[in-house]
Amino acid sequence: MERALSKRVGRCEPSATLAVSATARRLRAAGQEIIDWSAGEPDFDTPENICDAAIQAIRDGQTRYTSVGGTPALRAAIAHKFHRDNKLHFEADQILVSAGAKQALYNCLQAVIDPGDEVVIPAPYWASYPDMVRLAGGEPVFLPTTLKQNFRPTAEQLDQAISPRTKLLILNSPSNPCGAMLHREDLEGFARVLRAHPHVRVASDDIYELIRFDGVPFCNLVQVAPDLSDRVLLINGVSKAYAMTGWRIGYAAGPKDIIDAMLIVQSQSTSNPSSIAQAAACAALLEDQSSVPDMVAAFEQRRNYIVAALNELPGITCLKPDGAFYCLPDVGEAMRRLECPSDIEFATLLLDQLRLAVVPGLPFGSAEHIRVSFATDMPTLEEGISRLRDLLD
């Protein structure tokens, strides 16, 4: 008898980023000297004041269910963050706390997308977006960008990608996997297009907001086009900026009808995120912020090293990222020299021959590239470069 699984799941792959990181961990546990450039998480420990807040929450008995959408204290802290960092005002009922920005995005797609709806996604994109769209029954529509255009889509491209079936546009700046940032002029162009297409809403994934280099300013679509605020959901979280990936706290803020629908999804699936992690996230957002620039300075130093070193290798070209902690080198020429038919085989070869773990570009919509995470220490970056040089020279 055929044991059928849902067609929705059949259209999806497991997360490539998590899969490569899991393989790297497994090989390392088996005693191999793996250089891991795959993990999309800071290598720093969570700052001590944040850990202390969690321990205090346990001692204070904050160990029960909270409101589905987050404690009043954390929602107030998130409203404070938006006011402090973005000069935006949100009421508590416009904010939802989830188990990571990942769940916030998932809830959003479940809340907004019907079967057959289209979601426009600029490529390269975070590998989870298309499959989250498919799990909601929707169709991803990709908006390809190239290294030559600095991976920044144009307003004309967006206009052409929108159809009567388009329900949502997903923006992500700074970007995973390439670190590109949307400039104010890019967002102004998108706003003009969106005004002409009132049926399209936007999910703005701002999870890397605080990780930026060279003083490049951050802005999102709501800041640039406040008239669109009833159509834009902002998604953010504490995982990346505060080295809190394991705590699982993300949040969304925006139109109340979307937040209310996301609350229904969350109340019928996971309920509230961890009460203890919520207390820790309050401390992250409200207390001393000095750990953030310290970590960003370390990421910037590593970026400077890795991008220069990659560009010196034969057959590799890499754009300098403005933010996040990834770069996305074009390895097409290196692949051909080594007779690798695709970036998937190239990444497999790096793992098998060099014990160097990277994520292939294809799951990010970027064939012939690899994604490199530089959220790791300098010796790990230097050793990876030395192994790559031996292979390619």
Residues that bind ligand PMP (CB under 6 A): 40, 100-102, 126, 172, 176, 205, 207, 237, 239, 245, 250
Instruction: Using CB positions, name the residue nearest to ligand PMP.
Output: 100
Of 12-20, 61-69, 141-149, 345-353, the segment contacting ligand GLU by CB under 6 A is 12-20
Figure out which of the listed residues 11, 12, 15, 382 binds ligand GLU, where binding follows CB under 6 A.
Answer: 15
- Short-list 137, 74, 130, 78, CA closest to 105: 130
Q: Which residues are CB-contacts of 318 (< 8 A; sequence separation ≥ 6)?
A: 307, 310, 311, 327, 328, 329, 330
Only one residue has tokens 């003009």, namely 192
- Short-list 319, 371, 322, 340, CA closest to 127: 371
Angle (nearest 5°) at CA 261 between 255 and 267: 130
The one of ligand PMP, ligand GLU, none whose footprint includes residue 18, by CB under 5 to 8 A per kind, is: ligand GLU
Of 10-18, 78-86, 180-188, 374-382, the segment contacting ligand GLU by CB under 6 A is 10-18
Question: Which CB, 40 or 70, lies closer to ligand PMP?
Answer: 40
Closest approach, Cβ 129 to ligand PMP, in A, equals 8
> Which two structure tokens, joined as six digits, stand for 152?
């920044």
Alpha-carbon Rg for the chain, nearest whole angstrom, is 21
> Which two structure tokens, joined as six digits, stand for 53?
């807040």
Closest approach, Cβ 78 to ligand PMP, in A, equals 13
The one of ligand GLU, ligand PMP, none whose footprint includes residue 43, by CB under 5 to 8 A per kind, is: none
Binding mask 83-122 for ligand GLU (x = CB under 6 A): -------------------x--------------------
Question: Residue-wise over 256-283: b if at least 16 C-beta within 10 A, else e?
Answer: eebbebbbebbeeeeebbbbbbbbbbbb
Restricting to residues 125-144, which ones interact with ligand GLU according to CB under 6 A? 128
Is-cis flag, bond preceding 226, omega within 30? no
* Site for ligand GLU, rule CB under 6 A: 15, 17-18, 40-41, 102, 128, 176
